[in-house]
A and B are shown apart, each in its own frame.
Chain A
Amino acid sequence: MRTRYKPTASASRVPRNRRELTEEEKQELVLSLADNVQRLQALYSNCSDVIVRRFAIGGVTDAALVYIDGLIDTDKADRYIVTPLMDADGPKELNLIRLAEQRISVSDMKAVATIGDCISAISNGQPVLLRDQEASGLAFGLPSWEKRAIEEPEAESTIRGPREGFTETLRVNTSMLRRIIKSPLMKLEKIVIGEYTQTNVVLVYIEGLADTALLQEARTRLEGIRIDGILESGYIEEMIEDNPRSPFPQLLNTERPDVVCAALLEGRIAILTEGTPHALIAPISLFSLLQSPEDYYQRFWPSTLIRWLRYIFAFISLVLPSFYVAVTSYHQEMVPGALLSSMATSREPVPFPALFEALLMEVTFEALREAGVRLPKQVGAAVSIVGALVVGQAAVQAGLVSAPMVIVVAITGIASFMLPRYIAGIAIRMLRFPLIFLGGTLGLLGIMMGIILIVLHLCRLQSFGMPYLQSITTMQRSDIKDIVMRAPWWALDIRPQLNSKPQTKREAPNQMPDNQ
């Protein structure tokens, strides 16, 4: 990673809205059960979902179980915590931990000593058991709440490859990762972000593969976040990006556990956030946005071809409308004669300049796309019909736009959807508009200027300290193999270069099957 890290987030940012732990939260539990319960109830005043169940252990010692209704499995709590304790008839002087060891058959159990610990346990679906004459309590892991089933990720579907996607539940997500990477070297570091939401965020990496400097940087950046709440990983993404104003995403977001695991195996890190199926991956390069997981599951010939198709269409999606505008309004001599005459014919009834025509159509297309995404599925069909009829045909027949322009916009739209990462498609679609404008005012010269600016920007861009164009600027043979083509797996024997350290092997030598 060299030393090109910027001043770390926490060092440069003054924690502005950091809510220190309140006095109540810092307080230790006391011996009196009544005091403890009363203090918890004071904190949870007007919280109708908090339940305090008082009972007597073995009919003698007063105790209380505190939990939030709906977050725990009440049935199990009754059966494995409350019932055995009430039935207990052991010596009274046994402390709570010894008692639990003998009586309570819940495997996940930990001691809590402060009010703050109690609150965090309670809100995470762990019932807290307090006993009179004891200045600590026990939290049991019995979380259970309604969750969505594991489904196929709709935004990243593949023909060949696993069909499961992350859900909103962090534990389910981490379990999916652990099912794939069983080595204990895969570490999941928990960080809590969000003043009010107290969202659990997990930093995932494989020890030994992920660079320690990168890890340290990720930790510092994550810990530097001071915000009232994290509702989606997008909050985190925008708070830890290297270049917050760039149109290009510097972290990859994915719903697929297999994509996360592939990244981990390459020495990258992943950030999982409670409450969203979208995990973040860093560092990435421009080409990560142009790669689909399926590239690595299909055989390498089709993968290579499709990859090239993608590169071509990414470029088309960026420049085609502006190129068309520039050529029809400045460089007519560049078009073959027969094509120009048919273009002239179809442009004949159009009253607008090509620039305006292009902007009109592109904006309409973006509107249709956005409408298609936002509308309920049942209405979606209506939008596409109206879009196809109105924009496709009626506009041409009414002489508002020319047929070639409709074709250009359609191809561009399809091209931008060809990118496997939705976010990358949007970045390119956004840049298309300034390019159209440049093409319409300065011709090809303007487009070239725009492209040069974009390339300059890409050259400066970094993702967690890794240059965005790393693989092509260093011309590392092992990296190029995965960009110019998708080399077969037996040839992809070296991990991609993410930092200045020597690359590591991921395969034993001579893995190419013998030619029988």
Chain B
Amino acid sequence: MNMIRLVHAVSAVLVLTMTTGCWDRDELNDLALVTALALDQGKNNDIVTTIQFLLPRSQSGVGGTGGGGGGGGGMNKETAVRTASGVNVADALSKLQRRMPRKLFWGQCKIFIFGEELAHKGIQESLDLLSRHPQPRERSFVFVSAGKASDNLELFPPLERTSAEALRKLSEMDIGYKLTLQQLNSKLVDDSEALAIPYIHVLKKSKAAAPGQTIPYVYGSAVMKGDRMIGVMSEKVTRGMMWLNDDIGDYTITFWMDGRSQGAISLRPIVAHIKTTPLIQGDQWMIKVKVNVEGDMLQNGTAYNPVDPQLLAKMDKAFEKDVRDRIELTVQQAQHKFNADIFDFAKAFHRKYPKQWEKEKGNWDKRFPQVKVTMDITAHILRSGLILAPDGMPHDEVIP
């Protein structure tokens, strides 16, 4: 009786595992671990896809696979790239798969790069695949590249194993602008229909480095209206945008005292609290920005001794002015140069004034440049560091 049940159970398990199991199995040896995907505009409206994948055998140490000693130019290449083009991304990737002896594995791909040309034409269609496909991660980072996107993949960073890894670590350091696939997707359908994507360049390699031994890095951002790129914002303006979006992380801010006459002061880390409040008065749409920012002195290039409260107040003033200038510059560029609501003011108005927003919705392109941004900034230098008076400056030169 019990024996029969046991036999039944065992045969059920065997049927389950033997007849059905394993079809999803992918041994690591049968996978190509894709680290980054670059999408470029090809000829005849084609999409060119380039992947960067890990070469598992090139590491030193394990596995005496022999092989021709010393191969290439002395640099230990850990990645390779492969390219294919097609009508759309899926088509191109399926062609790419035909040129790869191993199955493409997207689970570890954390970098997607759009070429500038493709970004100008629109990225929405290509994004569809990245979100629809189960393997790519929602939290991977998206970039627009200056020039061709694929160029960023054929680099061999001196520090990281892959250029994709270098980009990922740079983004995760929280000092620059970054955007994940998920954020990109949600920003694309936001009320403002405008956003900025980190813009990457290839860092000029140092003289002694081997060819290609450098990394891509983020500098500035690509301004997108809808899913099309309309221009490039400088790093400074991008940071202004981060200020307004309360995205500002750990980074050093440097400003001049009284124009350029007195020398520069650098502060870090910055603790900033930024609050934006929309306000509609009659026909005037306004955004009130309240900034509360604090920082520690890192370098004092002026002759001011920060121990003096009056001088410190002066420094605070200069600090405050610098922050104001940054934000104003960004707002100015967004409103008048690009006419792209990269700050998502639209959503703020939509939330607070849903009725007015319903009426003005179609008119946002005209409305946005007229939105008045007022600022209320409180800036403080909290600590002067280990020393007080500027270091190495004769006492009589220090302004007390």
Contact = CB atoms under 8 A, between A and B. Distances in A.
Contact of B22 (A340, A344, A399, A441): A441
Given A332-B105, A396-B62, A341 B25 contact: no
A344 B27 CA distance: 9
B107 interface: yes
A87 to B, nearest CB: 68
Contacts of A130: none
B45 interface: no
A345 B22 contact: no
Contacts of A441: 17, 21-22, 25
B46 interface: no
Interface string A379-413: 00000000000000000110100110000000000
B74 interface: no
Query: Most chain-B Cβ atoms within 10 A of its Cβ — which of A333, A350, A399?
Result: A333
A345 B59 contact: yes
Contact of A345 (B62, B64, B137): B62
A409 B63 CA distance: 19
A332 B62 contact: no
B28 A343 contact: yes
Interface in A27-84: none
Nearest to B31: A332
Interface in B127-156: 135, 137
Contacts of B64: 349, 397, 399
Contacts of A437: 17
B281 interface: no
A348 B65 CA distance: 9
A348 B57 contact: yes
Contact of A438 (B17, B26, B57): B17
Given A348-B56, A348-B65, A441-B21, A341 B26 contact: no
Contact of B161 (A332, A341, A399): A341
Interface in B23-81: 24-29, 31, 33, 35, 54, 56-57, 59, 62-65
A343 B56 CA distance: 9
A474 interface: no
A347 interface: yes
Contacts of A438: 17
A253 interface: no
A443 interface: yes
Query: Most chain-B Cβ atoms within 10 A of its Cβ — which of A329, A333, A345, A396?
Result: A345
Given A337-B165, A346-B63, A354 B17 contact: no
Contacts of B63: 345-346, 348-349, 399
B62 A353 contact: no
Interface residues of B, number: 30
B110 interface: yes
Given A437-B17, A441-B22, A442-B17, A342 B65 contact: no
B21 A442 contact: yes
A478 B312 CA distance: 63
A344 B33 contact: yes
Interface string A335-378: 00110111111111110011000000000000000000000000
A337 B28 contact: no
A348 B29 contact: yes
A306 B108 CA distance: 37
Nearest to A340: B108
A332 B109 CA distance: 12
Contacts of A353: 25, 27
Interface in B143-178: 161, 165
B8 to A, nearest CB: 15
A411 to B, nearest CB: 19
Contact of A346 (B2, B26, B62, B107): B62
A296 interface: no
Query: Most chain-A Cβ atoms within 10 A of its Cβ — which of B25, B64, B110?
Result: B25
A106 B299 CA distance: 101
A173 interface: no
B24 A344 contact: no
Contacts of A344: 28-29, 31, 33, 54, 56
Nearest to A337: B108
Nearest to A342: B59
Contacts of A397: 64
Given A333-B135, A350-B29, A438-B17, A345 B56 contact: yes
A134 B64 CA distance: 91
Nearest to B78: A341
B108 A332 contact: yes
Interface in A433-463: 437-438, 440-443, 446
Given A348-B56, A348-B57, A438-B17, A330 B62 contact: no
B62 A333 contact: no
B165 to A, nearest CB: 7
A349 B108 contact: no
A7 to B, nearest CB: 16
A330 B25 contact: yes
Given A345-B59, A345-B62, A346-B62, A333 B108 contact: yes
20 contacts: A245-B2, A330-B24, A332-B105, A332-B107, A337-B108, A340-B33, A341-B108, A344-B28, A344-B33, A348-B29, A348-B62, A348-B65, A349-B63, A353-B25, A396-B62, A399-B63, A399-B64, A399-B65, A440-B22, A443-B24
Given A332-B31, A333-B107, A345-B57, 4 more contacts: A337-B110, A342-B59, A354-B28, A442-B17
Interface of B: 2, 16-17, 21-22, 24-29, 31, 33, 35, 54, 56-57, 59, 62-65, 105, 107-108, 110, 135, 137, 161, 165
By Cβ-Cβ distance, the 3 closest A-B pairs, closest first, are: A333-B107, A441-B21, A349-B63
